[in-house]
Amino acid sequence: MTVTTTDRLILREWTDTPADLARIYDIYSRDEVMRWLGGGAGRLTEPGQAVERLAAWRQRYAPYAGRYGIWAIQVRDTEQVAGSVLLKPLPGRDGQTPTEDIEVGWHLHPDSWGHGYATEAARAVLAAEFATDTRQVYAVVAPGNERSMAVCRRLGMTHLGRRTDWYGGTEVETFLRTSP
């Protein structure tokens, strides 16, 4: 199911097709991606784990009826999936309980870095979320992840410094975008 589109991208549900499962594994098994996501915790180590990851995403976001989730970023021209874009309630200090704070994020395969896909996909989900009268959305970035911090700046987000409000108290660079 397509969530939204842009000039270059289709943002859609991840599927259990062999191509999507292979891409999930290829993205979430890479050290250069996972080092920025919880310090590498949750890195996939065998292809069959992609099925479990997809099932966990579906279960986690099912209560939100499509408003929140993690979606595939598919490039229109090539039909290749560049990565994922997410919009979700940030987990609190316990690392589990959803807060009232909303997060936008992205996880791209290295072969898709540097093309503006993360910025374009995040802009689209931010626009949809702001259309629901949400007043602000955060992006949280692992310290040192200069590429993601640059995406935040391109999105017009304000850097608030390092905070420990979410993800079990992990220190993250925090960015904020308010409703236009």
42-56: average pLDDT:
96
Task: Specify the higher pLDDT residue, 54 or 96.
Answer: 54
pLDDT digits (tens, 9 = 90+) for 1-21: 668 999 999 999 999 999 999
pLDDT digits (tens, 9 = 90+) for 88-142: 999 988 888 899 999 999 999 999 999 999 999 999 999 999 999 999 999 999 9
pLDDT, mean over the chain? 95
Residue 1 confidence (pLDDT): 67
Is pTM beyond 0.85 here?
yes
Residue 122 confidence (pLDDT): 98
130-157: average pLDDT:
97
Residue 38 confidence (pLDDT): 81
Residue 40 confidence (pLDDT): 73
DSSP string, 73-92: EEETTT--EEEEEEEEEEE-
What is the C-alpha to C-alpha distance for residues 101 and 161, in angstroms, rounded to an integer?
16
Residue 151 confidence (pLDDT): 98
Sorting pLDDT into bands at 50, 70 and 90, what band is 41? confident
Give the chain's largest Cα–Cα span. Answer: 43
Whether 39 has a pLDDT exceeding 80, the answer reads no
DSSP string, 33-56: HHTTSGGGTT---STTHHHHHHHH
Whether 157 has a pLDDT exceeding 70, the answer reads yes
Task: Specify the higher pLDDT residue, 39 or 73.
Answer: 73
How wide is the angle at C-alpha 11 spanned by C-alphas 153 and 148, nearest 5°? 25
